[in-house]
Chains A and B, each alone.
Chain A
Amino acid sequence: MSEFRLPSLGADMKDATLREWFVEPGDTVTKGDSIAAVETDKGIIDIEVFESGTVKEILVQPDEKVPVGTVLATIRSGGKTQGHAEPRKAGVSEDKQAPPEDMPRALNIQPPPGGERKRISPAARKRARELSVDPENIVGTGPGGAVTLEDVASSAGPAAPTGTVAGTAEKQAEAAASSMRRAIAAAVVRSNREIPHYYLSTSIDLTPALTWLEQQNAERPLPLRLVYAILLLKAVAGALQKVPEMNGFFMDDAAQVKDDVHVGVAISLRSGGLLVPTLRDVHRKNPDELMAEFSDLVNRARSGHLRGSELQDATITVTSLGEQGVDTVFPIIYPPQLAIVGFGSIVERVRPVNRAPQVRRVINASLAADHRASDGHRGALFLAEIDRLLQEPERL
Protein backbone atom coordinates (compact mmCIF):
# COMPACT_ATOMS: atom_id res chain seq x y z
CA MET A 1 0.00 0.00 0.00
CA SER A 2 1.26 3.50 -0.69
CA GLU A 3 0.41 7.00 0.38
CA PHE A 4 -0.65 9.61 -2.13
CA ARG A 5 0.77 12.85 -0.80
CA LEU A 6 0.36 16.48 -1.77
CA PRO A 7 3.43 17.12 -3.93
CA SER A 8 5.45 20.32 -3.92
CA LEU A 9 4.64 22.06 -7.19
CA GLY A 10 7.32 24.70 -6.84
CA ALA A 11 9.91 25.92 -4.37
CA ASP A 12 7.56 28.52 -2.94
CA MET A 13 4.60 26.25 -2.40
CA LYS A 14 3.76 25.55 1.22
CA ASP A 15 0.20 24.29 1.05
CA ALA A 16 -2.79 23.81 -1.22
CA THR A 17 -6.54 23.48 -1.00
CA LEU A 18 -8.05 20.28 -2.27
CA ARG A 19 -10.72 21.19 -4.79
CA GLU A 20 -11.92 17.94 -6.26
CA TRP A 21 -11.37 14.23 -6.33
CA PHE A 22 -11.65 12.58 -9.75
CA VAL A 23 -11.70 9.13 -8.12
CA GLU A 24 -13.36 7.45 -5.20
CA PRO A 25 -12.44 4.49 -3.02
CA GLY A 26 -12.36 1.30 -5.08
CA ASP A 27 -11.43 3.00 -8.35
CA THR A 28 -8.50 1.61 -10.26
CA VAL A 29 -5.78 4.13 -11.02
CA THR A 30 -2.81 3.94 -13.37
CA LYS A 31 0.51 5.68 -12.84
CA GLY A 32 0.30 9.16 -14.36
CA ASP A 33 -3.46 9.55 -14.01
CA SER A 34 -4.68 12.88 -12.69
CA ILE A 35 -6.73 11.89 -9.69
CA ALA A 36 -7.36 15.16 -7.87
CA ALA A 37 -7.39 18.91 -8.45
CA VAL A 38 -5.76 21.20 -5.92
CA GLU A 39 -5.69 24.96 -5.78
CA THR A 40 -2.28 26.51 -5.25
CA ASP A 41 -0.82 29.95 -5.77
CA LYS A 42 -0.35 28.92 -9.39
CA GLY A 43 -4.02 28.24 -9.90
CA ILE A 44 -5.96 25.01 -9.99
CA ILE A 45 -3.70 22.13 -10.89
CA ASP A 46 -4.43 18.47 -11.51
CA ILE A 47 -2.13 16.18 -9.56
CA GLU A 48 -1.05 12.77 -10.72
CA VAL A 49 -0.66 9.46 -8.99
CA PHE A 50 2.78 7.84 -9.28
CA GLU A 51 1.75 4.27 -8.71
CA SER A 52 -0.85 2.01 -10.24
CA GLY A 53 -3.34 0.41 -7.93
CA THR A 54 -6.70 0.87 -6.31
CA VAL A 55 -7.83 3.86 -4.27
CA LYS A 56 -8.26 2.58 -0.73
CA GLU A 57 -9.17 5.58 1.34
CA ILE A 58 -9.58 9.29 0.76
CA LEU A 59 -8.22 11.23 3.72
CA VAL A 60 -8.61 14.87 2.72
CA GLN A 61 -11.95 16.24 1.63
CA PRO A 62 -12.63 19.02 -0.90
CA ASP A 63 -12.02 22.59 0.42
CA GLU A 64 -9.54 21.40 3.05
CA LYS A 65 -6.26 23.30 3.00
CA VAL A 66 -3.29 21.10 3.83
CA PRO A 67 0.52 21.49 3.85
CA VAL A 68 2.84 19.93 1.26
CA GLY A 69 3.51 16.29 2.08
CA THR A 70 0.10 15.60 3.64
CA VAL A 71 -1.25 12.15 2.81
CA LEU A 72 -4.32 12.82 0.67
CA ALA A 73 -5.29 9.23 0.01
CA THR A 74 -4.00 5.70 0.32
CA ILE A 75 -3.47 3.52 -2.74
CA ARG A 76 -3.46 -0.25 -2.68
CA SER A 77 -0.68 -1.29 -5.05
CA GLY A 78 -0.98 -3.61 -8.01
CA GLY A 79 -4.01 -2.39 -9.90
CA LYS A 80 -6.19 -5.27 -8.73
CA THR A 81 -9.64 -4.45 -7.54
CA GLN A 82 -10.69 -5.94 -4.24
CA GLY A 83 -13.52 -5.94 -1.75
CA HIS A 84 -16.42 -3.72 -2.66
CA ALA A 85 -14.76 -2.82 -5.92
CA GLU A 86 -15.51 -6.31 -7.16
CA PRO A 87 -19.09 -5.72 -8.32
CA ARG A 88 -17.80 -2.99 -10.63
CA LYS A 89 -15.68 -5.42 -12.54
CA ALA A 90 -18.15 -6.03 -15.33
CA GLY A 91 -18.59 -2.32 -15.90
CA VAL A 92 -14.92 -1.49 -16.09
CA SER A 93 -13.77 -4.46 -18.13
CA GLU A 94 -13.53 -2.34 -21.27
CA ASP A 95 -11.15 -0.06 -19.46
CA LYS A 96 -8.72 -2.85 -18.84
CA GLN A 97 -8.51 -3.73 -22.48
CA ALA A 98 -7.86 -0.18 -23.57
CA PRO A 99 -4.26 0.96 -23.19
CA PRO A 100 -4.23 3.39 -20.27
CA GLU A 101 -2.33 6.00 -22.31
CA ASP A 102 -5.26 6.30 -24.67
CA MET A 103 -7.55 7.82 -22.12
CA PRO A 104 -5.56 8.43 -18.96
CA ARG A 105 -8.15 10.78 -17.49
CA ALA A 106 -11.21 8.68 -18.18
CA LEU A 107 -10.69 6.32 -15.31
CA ASN A 108 -13.32 7.65 -13.01
CA ILE A 109 -16.60 5.92 -13.54
CA GLN A 110 -19.51 7.11 -11.49
CA PRO A 111 -22.12 4.49 -10.74
CA PRO A 112 -25.62 5.82 -11.27
CA PRO A 113 -28.07 4.46 -8.73
CA GLY A 114 -28.74 0.85 -9.59
CA GLY A 115 -27.97 1.01 -13.27
CA GLU A 116 -25.22 0.73 -15.81
CA ARG A 117 -22.46 3.18 -15.22
CA LYS A 118 -21.71 6.03 -17.59
CA ARG A 119 -18.13 6.46 -18.76
CA ILE A 120 -17.08 10.07 -18.41
CA SER A 121 -13.71 11.76 -18.14
CA PRO A 122 -13.06 13.75 -14.94
CA ALA A 123 -12.72 17.00 -16.88
CA ALA A 124 -16.01 16.34 -18.62
CA ARG A 125 -17.68 15.50 -15.35
CA LYS A 126 -16.41 18.72 -13.81
CA ARG A 127 -17.62 20.75 -16.77
CA ALA A 128 -20.98 19.00 -16.67
CA ARG A 129 -21.36 20.01 -13.05
CA GLU A 130 -20.38 23.61 -13.85
CA LEU A 131 -22.95 23.71 -16.62
CA SER A 132 -25.58 21.91 -14.52
CA VAL A 133 -25.88 19.16 -17.12
CA ASP A 134 -26.61 15.59 -16.12
CA PRO A 135 -23.96 13.37 -17.76
CA GLU A 136 -26.48 10.54 -17.83
CA ASN A 137 -28.40 12.39 -20.49
CA ILE A 138 -25.40 12.93 -22.75
CA VAL A 139 -24.51 10.65 -25.63
CA GLY A 140 -20.78 9.89 -25.39
CA THR A 141 -18.58 9.95 -28.49
CA GLY A 142 -15.29 9.06 -26.76
CA PRO A 143 -13.62 5.62 -26.56
CA GLY A 144 -16.12 2.99 -25.46
CA GLY A 145 -18.92 5.55 -25.55
CA ALA A 146 -17.27 7.70 -22.89
CA VAL A 147 -18.63 11.21 -22.46
CA THR A 148 -15.93 13.71 -23.45
CA LEU A 149 -15.52 17.37 -22.62
CA GLU A 150 -16.77 18.21 -26.09
CA ASP A 151 -19.91 16.10 -25.61
CA VAL A 152 -20.68 18.02 -22.44
CA ALA A 153 -20.12 21.35 -24.18
CA SER A 154 -22.30 20.29 -27.12
CA SER A 155 -25.13 19.22 -24.90
CA ALA A 156 -24.98 22.44 -22.94
CA GLY A 157 -25.17 24.67 -25.99
CA PRO A 158 -23.42 27.98 -26.58
CA ALA A 159 -25.45 30.01 -24.13
CA ALA A 160 -24.52 27.93 -21.12
CA PRO A 161 -21.39 29.72 -19.90
CA THR A 162 -23.33 32.91 -19.08
CA GLY A 163 -25.44 33.59 -16.02
CA THR A 164 -24.87 32.41 -12.49
CA VAL A 165 -22.37 29.75 -13.43
CA ALA A 166 -20.13 32.39 -14.97
CA GLY A 167 -20.58 34.47 -11.81
CA THR A 168 -19.25 31.69 -9.60
CA ALA A 169 -16.43 30.95 -11.99
CA GLU A 170 -15.51 34.63 -11.96
CA LYS A 171 -15.26 34.66 -8.19
CA GLN A 172 -13.06 31.58 -8.23
CA ALA A 173 -10.92 33.12 -10.94
CA GLU A 174 -10.53 36.28 -8.86
CA ALA A 175 -9.40 34.32 -5.81
CA ALA A 176 -6.99 32.28 -7.92
CA ALA A 177 -5.65 35.42 -9.59
CA SER A 178 -4.81 37.07 -6.28
CA SER A 179 -2.96 34.02 -4.99
CA MET A 180 -1.15 33.74 -8.32
CA ARG A 181 -0.19 37.41 -8.01
CA ARG A 182 1.41 36.64 -4.65
CA ALA A 183 3.38 33.75 -6.13
CA ILE A 184 4.63 35.89 -9.01
CA ALA A 185 5.58 38.57 -6.49
CA ALA A 186 7.58 36.08 -4.43
CA ALA A 187 9.44 34.77 -7.48
CA VAL A 188 10.37 38.16 -8.94
CA VAL A 189 11.42 39.61 -5.57
CA ARG A 190 13.73 36.65 -5.10
CA SER A 191 15.00 37.04 -8.64
CA ASN A 192 15.83 40.72 -8.28
CA ARG A 193 17.31 40.24 -4.83
CA GLU A 194 19.50 37.24 -5.57
CA ILE A 195 20.35 37.22 -9.25
CA PRO A 196 22.82 39.70 -10.75
CA HIS A 197 21.26 40.01 -14.20
CA TYR A 198 22.98 41.22 -17.33
CA TYR A 199 20.97 42.11 -20.42
CA LEU A 200 21.72 41.83 -24.13
CA SER A 201 19.53 42.41 -27.13
CA THR A 202 19.80 41.95 -30.86
CA SER A 203 17.45 42.35 -33.79
CA ILE A 204 17.01 39.30 -35.98
CA ASP A 205 15.82 39.19 -39.58
CA LEU A 206 12.92 36.75 -39.37
CA THR A 207 11.96 37.01 -43.05
CA PRO A 208 13.50 33.68 -44.11
CA ALA A 209 11.90 31.84 -41.19
CA LEU A 210 8.46 33.37 -41.78
CA THR A 211 8.61 32.79 -45.53
CA TRP A 212 9.48 29.15 -44.94
CA LEU A 213 6.70 28.87 -42.36
CA GLU A 214 4.11 30.37 -44.74
CA GLN A 215 5.12 27.90 -47.45
CA GLN A 216 4.86 25.04 -44.97
CA ASN A 217 1.48 26.15 -43.67
CA ALA A 218 0.07 26.63 -47.18
CA GLU A 219 0.64 22.91 -47.76
CA ARG A 220 -0.56 21.74 -44.38
CA PRO A 221 -4.12 21.05 -43.24
CA LEU A 222 -5.27 23.31 -40.42
CA PRO A 223 -4.50 21.07 -37.44
CA LEU A 224 -0.89 20.58 -38.57
CA ARG A 225 0.00 24.23 -39.10
CA LEU A 226 2.80 25.76 -37.07
CA VAL A 227 3.02 29.08 -35.26
CA TYR A 228 6.28 31.03 -35.48
CA ALA A 229 6.87 30.66 -31.74
CA ILE A 230 7.80 27.04 -32.40
CA LEU A 231 10.72 28.14 -34.58
CA LEU A 232 11.87 30.55 -31.88
CA LEU A 233 11.77 27.74 -29.29
CA LYS A 234 13.73 25.41 -31.56
CA ALA A 235 16.33 28.12 -32.21
CA VAL A 236 16.75 28.73 -28.47
CA ALA A 237 17.18 25.01 -27.80
CA GLY A 238 19.63 24.72 -30.70
CA ALA A 239 21.69 27.67 -29.49
CA LEU A 240 21.91 26.10 -26.02
CA GLN A 241 23.76 23.17 -27.57
CA LYS A 242 26.51 25.63 -28.47
CA VAL A 243 26.30 27.80 -25.33
CA PRO A 244 25.05 25.42 -22.63
CA GLU A 245 25.83 27.66 -19.66
CA MET A 246 22.51 29.46 -20.15
CA ASN A 247 20.64 26.23 -19.45
CA GLY A 248 20.17 24.97 -15.90
CA PHE A 249 20.01 26.24 -12.35
CA PHE A 250 22.01 28.28 -9.88
CA MET A 251 21.83 26.41 -6.61
CA ASP A 252 24.08 25.98 -3.59
CA ASP A 253 26.36 28.78 -4.79
CA ALA A 254 27.13 27.09 -8.08
CA ALA A 255 25.78 26.90 -11.59
CA GLN A 256 24.39 23.49 -12.47
CA VAL A 257 24.40 23.34 -16.23
CA LYS A 258 21.95 20.83 -17.70
CA ASP A 259 22.16 18.88 -20.95
CA ASP A 260 18.43 18.44 -21.44
CA VAL A 261 16.56 21.53 -22.55
CA HIS A 262 13.20 21.96 -20.83
CA VAL A 263 11.78 25.33 -21.82
CA GLY A 264 9.32 27.16 -19.58
CA VAL A 265 6.92 29.03 -21.83
CA ALA A 266 5.29 32.07 -20.32
CA ILE A 267 1.55 32.10 -21.06
CA SER A 268 -0.41 35.12 -19.91
CA LEU A 269 -3.92 34.52 -18.67
CA ARG A 270 -6.76 36.78 -19.65
CA SER A 271 -7.97 36.77 -16.05
CA GLY A 272 -4.58 38.19 -15.00
CA GLY A 273 -1.27 36.67 -14.08
CA LEU A 274 0.71 34.11 -15.98
CA LEU A 275 1.60 30.45 -15.99
CA VAL A 276 4.89 29.00 -17.13
CA PRO A 277 4.33 25.38 -18.16
CA THR A 278 7.30 23.37 -19.35
CA LEU A 279 7.93 22.00 -22.83
CA ARG A 280 10.28 19.12 -22.20
CA ASP A 281 13.24 18.00 -24.33
CA VAL A 282 12.79 20.78 -26.86
CA HIS A 283 16.23 20.00 -28.37
CA ARG A 284 15.13 16.45 -29.24
CA LYS A 285 11.68 17.11 -30.65
CA ASN A 286 10.82 18.23 -34.15
CA PRO A 287 8.61 21.29 -34.76
CA ASP A 288 5.50 19.15 -35.32
CA GLU A 289 5.84 17.36 -32.00
CA LEU A 290 6.50 20.65 -30.23
CA MET A 291 3.52 22.29 -31.89
CA ALA A 292 1.17 19.55 -30.74
CA GLU A 293 2.48 19.76 -27.17
CA PHE A 294 2.52 23.55 -27.10
CA SER A 295 -1.03 23.76 -28.38
CA ASP A 296 -2.18 21.29 -25.75
CA LEU A 297 -0.36 23.17 -22.97
CA VAL A 298 -1.86 26.51 -23.99
CA ASN A 299 -5.33 25.00 -24.13
CA ARG A 300 -5.04 23.47 -20.71
CA ALA A 301 -3.38 26.51 -19.19
CA ARG A 302 -6.39 28.50 -20.35
CA SER A 303 -8.90 26.04 -18.94
CA GLY A 304 -7.05 25.52 -15.63
CA HIS A 305 -6.05 21.93 -16.24
CA LEU A 306 -2.30 21.84 -16.17
CA ARG A 307 -0.78 18.94 -14.30
CA GLY A 308 1.56 19.70 -11.45
CA SER A 309 4.47 17.99 -13.19
CA GLU A 310 4.06 20.32 -16.15
CA LEU A 311 4.99 23.35 -14.06
CA GLN A 312 8.29 21.88 -12.91
CA ASP A 313 11.83 21.34 -14.15
CA ALA A 314 12.18 24.13 -16.71
CA THR A 315 15.87 24.81 -17.34
CA ILE A 316 15.31 28.13 -19.16
CA THR A 317 12.30 30.36 -19.89
CA VAL A 318 11.14 31.97 -23.11
CA THR A 319 8.72 34.87 -23.03
CA SER A 320 7.15 36.48 -26.03
CA LEU A 321 5.31 39.72 -25.52
CA GLY A 322 5.40 40.53 -29.19
CA GLU A 323 1.73 40.11 -29.65
CA GLN A 324 1.11 42.99 -27.30
CA GLY A 325 3.05 45.19 -29.66
CA VAL A 326 6.30 45.89 -27.80
CA ASP A 327 9.62 45.91 -29.62
CA THR A 328 11.84 44.57 -26.88
CA VAL A 329 11.29 42.63 -23.67
CA PHE A 330 13.58 43.09 -20.65
CA PRO A 331 12.75 39.91 -18.79
CA ILE A 332 13.49 38.78 -15.24
CA ILE A 333 15.03 35.37 -14.67
CA TYR A 334 12.74 32.80 -13.09
CA PRO A 335 14.76 31.49 -10.15
CA PRO A 336 16.72 29.28 -9.88
CA GLN A 337 17.19 29.27 -13.67
CA LEU A 338 20.24 30.78 -15.32
CA ALA A 339 18.63 32.75 -18.13
CA ILE A 340 15.48 33.92 -19.84
CA VAL A 341 15.01 34.85 -23.49
CA GLY A 342 12.46 37.44 -24.57
CA PHE A 343 11.05 38.09 -28.02
CA GLY A 344 9.29 41.31 -29.01
CA SER A 345 6.89 41.87 -31.90
CA ILE A 346 7.65 41.18 -35.50
CA VAL A 347 7.95 44.54 -37.23
CA GLU A 348 8.73 45.59 -40.78
CA ARG A 349 11.99 47.51 -41.06
CA VAL A 350 14.06 48.71 -43.95
CA ARG A 351 17.34 46.82 -43.80
CA PRO A 352 20.25 46.48 -46.16
CA VAL A 353 20.34 43.15 -47.97
CA ASN A 354 23.25 42.70 -50.37
CA ARG A 355 23.90 46.45 -49.97
CA ALA A 356 20.41 47.41 -51.18
CA PRO A 357 17.56 48.52 -48.91
CA GLN A 358 14.77 46.01 -48.45
CA VAL A 359 11.69 45.78 -46.25
CA ARG A 360 12.31 42.87 -43.90
CA ARG A 361 10.36 41.37 -40.99
CA VAL A 362 12.46 41.78 -37.90
CA ILE A 363 12.17 40.60 -34.29
CA ASN A 364 14.14 41.72 -31.25
CA ALA A 365 15.54 38.91 -29.16
CA SER A 366 16.76 39.78 -25.69
CA LEU A 367 18.58 37.80 -23.06
CA ALA A 368 18.71 38.23 -19.32
CA ALA A 369 21.32 35.92 -17.84
CA ASP A 370 22.82 35.26 -14.43
CA HIS A 371 26.23 36.93 -14.30
CA ARG A 372 27.39 34.49 -11.66
CA ALA A 373 27.11 31.71 -14.23
CA SER A 374 28.12 33.37 -17.49
CA ASP A 375 29.59 36.53 -18.94
CA GLY A 376 28.30 38.90 -21.57
CA HIS A 377 30.58 37.49 -24.23
CA ARG A 378 28.93 34.07 -23.97
CA GLY A 379 25.52 35.68 -23.87
CA ALA A 380 26.31 37.52 -27.10
CA LEU A 381 27.41 34.26 -28.73
CA PHE A 382 24.16 32.68 -27.60
CA LEU A 383 22.00 35.38 -29.21
CA ALA A 384 24.13 35.29 -32.37
CA GLU A 385 23.59 31.54 -32.57
CA ILE A 386 19.79 31.98 -32.23
CA ASP A 387 20.00 34.45 -35.12
CA ARG A 388 22.11 32.08 -37.24
CA LEU A 389 19.74 29.16 -36.66
CA LEU A 390 16.68 31.21 -37.63
CA GLN A 391 18.27 31.97 -41.01
CA GLU A 392 18.01 28.25 -41.86
CA PRO A 393 14.52 27.42 -40.65
CA GLU A 394 14.28 24.16 -42.60
CA ARG A 395 17.04 22.75 -40.40
CA LEU A 396 15.37 23.54 -37.09
Chain B
Amino acid sequence: MNREEIRALALKKLLQVAPDINPGELDPKTPIRDQYDFDSMDFLNFTIALGREFQMDIPEKDYVAIQSLDGAVEYLAQHIEGSAEEN
Protein backbone atom coordinates (compact mmCIF):
# COMPACT_ATOMS: atom_id res chain seq x y z
CA MET B 1 0.00 0.00 0.00
CA ASN B 2 1.54 3.35 -0.94
CA ARG B 3 1.21 6.60 0.91
CA GLU B 4 -1.49 8.00 -1.37
CA GLU B 5 -3.63 4.92 -0.77
CA ILE B 6 -3.04 5.18 2.96
CA ARG B 7 -3.94 8.87 2.85
CA ALA B 8 -7.16 8.21 0.96
CA LEU B 9 -8.21 5.54 3.44
CA ALA B 10 -7.25 7.60 6.50
CA LEU B 11 -9.18 10.59 5.16
CA LYS B 12 -12.18 8.39 4.50
CA LYS B 13 -12.10 7.18 8.12
CA LEU B 14 -11.77 10.75 9.38
CA LEU B 15 -14.83 11.82 7.39
CA GLN B 16 -16.83 8.91 8.76
CA VAL B 17 -16.07 10.02 12.31
CA ALA B 18 -16.46 13.73 11.51
CA PRO B 19 -18.76 14.00 8.48
CA ASP B 20 -19.01 17.76 9.01
CA ILE B 21 -15.33 18.37 8.23
CA ASN B 22 -14.67 19.78 4.78
CA PRO B 23 -11.67 17.83 3.45
CA GLY B 24 -10.83 20.70 1.11
CA GLU B 25 -10.20 22.98 4.09
CA LEU B 26 -8.29 20.48 6.20
CA ASP B 27 -4.63 21.39 6.69
CA PRO B 28 -2.89 18.00 6.76
CA LYS B 29 0.10 19.31 8.72
CA THR B 30 -1.80 20.84 11.63
CA PRO B 31 -3.34 18.73 14.41
CA ILE B 32 -6.98 18.12 13.61
CA ARG B 33 -8.11 19.33 17.01
CA ASP B 34 -6.40 22.69 16.43
CA GLN B 35 -8.51 23.20 13.31
CA TYR B 36 -11.85 21.79 14.38
CA ASP B 37 -13.76 21.13 17.54
CA PHE B 38 -12.45 17.57 17.53
CA ASP B 39 -12.71 16.22 21.05
CA SER B 40 -11.12 13.19 22.68
CA MET B 41 -14.12 10.99 21.82
CA ASP B 42 -13.86 11.96 18.15
CA PHE B 43 -10.16 11.30 18.28
CA LEU B 44 -10.64 7.88 19.86
CA ASN B 45 -13.29 7.00 17.27
CA PHE B 46 -10.89 8.06 14.51
CA THR B 47 -8.12 5.94 16.04
CA ILE B 48 -10.44 2.94 16.36
CA ALA B 49 -11.48 3.33 12.72
CA LEU B 50 -7.82 3.47 11.64
CA GLY B 51 -7.00 0.42 13.78
CA ARG B 52 -9.82 -1.53 12.15
CA GLU B 53 -9.03 -0.45 8.63
CA PHE B 54 -5.32 -1.16 8.87
CA GLN B 55 -5.71 -4.07 11.26
CA MET B 56 -3.31 -2.83 13.87
CA ASP B 57 -3.34 -1.77 17.48
CA ILE B 58 -2.34 1.83 18.10
CA PRO B 59 -1.16 2.19 21.70
CA GLU B 60 -2.25 5.26 23.61
CA LYS B 61 1.34 6.48 23.87
CA ASP B 62 1.45 6.75 20.06
CA TYR B 63 -1.60 9.02 19.89
CA VAL B 64 0.71 12.01 19.76
CA ALA B 65 2.05 10.79 16.39
CA ILE B 66 -1.35 10.74 14.67
CA GLN B 67 -2.72 14.14 15.65
CA SER B 68 -2.57 15.48 12.08
CA LEU B 69 -3.48 13.77 8.82
CA ASP B 70 0.14 13.84 7.64
CA GLY B 71 1.26 12.45 10.99
CA ALA B 72 -1.29 9.64 10.78
CA VAL B 73 -0.23 8.75 7.22
CA GLU B 74 3.43 8.68 8.23
CA TYR B 75 2.70 6.56 11.30
CA LEU B 76 0.54 4.11 9.38
CA ALA B 77 3.07 3.82 6.55
CA GLN B 78 5.78 2.92 9.03
CA HIS B 79 3.67 0.38 10.87
CA ILE B 80 2.06 -1.49 8.00
CA GLU B 81 5.16 -2.00 5.87
CA GLY B 82 5.59 -5.62 6.90
CA SER B 83 1.98 -6.65 6.37
CA ALA B 84 1.68 -4.66 3.14
CA GLU B 85 4.30 -6.80 1.47
CA GLU B 86 2.46 -9.95 2.38
CA ASN B 87 -0.60 -8.70 0.59
A residues lining the B interface (CB < 8 Å): 150, 153-154, 157-159, 161-162, 166, 173, 214, 217-218, 221-223, 225, 227-229, 268-271, 294-295, 298-299, 302-303, 323-324
Determine if A302 and B18 form an interchain contact, defined as CB atoms under 8 angstroms apart.
yes
Min CB gap A310→B, angstroms:
16
Residues of chain A with a CB closer than 8 A to B37's CB: 268-270, 324
CA distance A272 to B55 in the complex (A): 34
Determine if A323 and B40 form an interchain contact, defined as CB atoms under 8 angstroms apart.
yes
Contact with A along B17-55 (1 / 0, CB 8 A): 111111110000000010011111110110110011000
Residues of chain A with a CB closer than 8 A to B81's CB: none
Determine if B41 and A222 form an interchain contact, defined as CB atoms under 8 angstroms apart.
no
Given A227-B44, A270-B20: A158 and B9 interface contact (C-beta under 8 Å) = yes
CA distance A157 to B14 in the complex (A): 12
CA distance A298 to B41 in the complex (A): 8
Min CB gap B45→A, angstroms:
6
Determine if A214 and B18 form an interchain contact, defined as CB atoms under 8 angstroms apart.
no
Number of contacts between A and B (CB, 8 Å)?
A: 75
Nearest chain-A residue to B12 (Cβ)?
A158
Residues of chain A with a CB closer than 8 A to B20's CB: 173, 269-271, 302
Which one of A158, A159, A268, A295 contacts B44 once the chains associate, using CB atoms below 8 Å? A295
Q: Which of A161, A268, A269, A299: most chain B Cβ within 10 A?
A: A161
Residues of chain A with a CB closer than 8 A to B24's CB: 162
**Number of B residues whose C-beta is below 8 Å from A?**
33
Residues of chain B with a CB closer than 8 A to A221's CB: 51, 57
Given A162-B24, A222-B51, A270-B18: A227 and B40 interface contact (C-beta under 8 Å) = yes
CA distance A214 to B51 in the complex (A): 18
Determine if B12 and A153 form an interchain contact, defined as CB atoms under 8 angstroms apart.
yes
B8 within 8 A of A: yes
CA distance A324 to B38 in the complex (A): 10
Determine if A161 and B57 form an interchain contact, defined as CB atoms under 8 angstroms apart.
no
Given A221-B57, A229-B40: A162 and B22 interface contact (C-beta under 8 Å) = yes
Q: Which 4 A-B pairs have the closest CB atoms?
A: A158-B12, A222-B51, A298-B41, A270-B20
Q: Which of B17, B39, B61: most chain A Cβ within 10 A?
A: B39
Determine if A270 and B21 form an interchain contact, defined as CB atoms under 8 angstroms apart.
yes
Residues of chain B with a CB closer than 8 A to A228's CB: 40
Nearest chain-A residue to B60 (Cβ)?
A217
Residues of chain B with a CB closer than 8 A to A154's CB: 12
Residues of chain A with a CB closer than 8 A to B15's CB: 153, 158, 161
Q: List 6 A-B contacts (CB under 8 A).
A: A158-B8, A162-B23, A222-B58, A227-B44, A229-B41, A323-B33
Residues of chain B with a CB closer than 8 A to A303's CB: 19
CA distance A225 to B41 in the complex (A): 10
Residues of chain A with a CB closer than 8 A to B51's CB: 221-223
Given A214-B60, A222-B57, A270-B21: A153 and B45 interface contact (C-beta under 8 Å) = no
Determine if A218 and B60 form an interchain contact, defined as CB atoms under 8 angstroms apart.
yes
Min CB gap A178→B, angstroms:
16
Q: Which of B15, B17, B20: most chain A Cβ within 10 A?
A: B20
Residues of chain B with a CB closer than 8 A to A173's CB: 20
Min CB gap A162→B, angstroms:
6
Residues of chain A with a CB closer than 8 A to B40's CB: 227-229, 323
Residues of chain B with a CB closer than 8 A to A158's CB: 8-9, 11-12, 15, 23
Min CB gap A234→B, angstroms:
16
Q: Which of A214, A218, A323: most chain B Cβ within 10 A?
A: A323
B59 within 8 A of A: yes
Determine if B60 and A225 form an interchain contact, defined as CB atoms under 8 angstroms apart.
yes
Residues of chain A with a CB closer than 8 A to B83's CB: none
Known A154-B12, A157-B12, A221-B57; 9 more pairs at CB < 8 Å: A158-B23, A161-B15, A162-B24, A166-B22, A218-B61, A225-B44, A299-B17, A302-B19, A302-B20
Nearest chain-B residue to A217 (Cβ)?
B60
Which one of B33, B39, B45 contacts A299 once the chains associate, using CB atoms below 8 Å? B45
Determine if B23 and A298 form an interchain contact, defined as CB atoms under 8 angstroms apart.
no
Nearest chain-A residue to B19 (Cβ)?
A303
Determine if B12 and A295 form an interchain contact, defined as CB atoms under 8 angstroms apart.
no
Residues of chain B with a CB closer than 8 A to A295's CB: 41, 44-45
Min CB gap B56→A, angstroms:
9
Determine if B45 and A298 form an interchain contact, defined as CB atoms under 8 angstroms apart.
yes
CA distance A276 to B68 in the complex (A): 28
Determine if A323 and B39 form an interchain contact, defined as CB atoms under 8 angstroms apart.
yes
Given A229-B41, A268-B37, A323-B40: A222 and B47 interface contact (C-beta under 8 Å) = yes
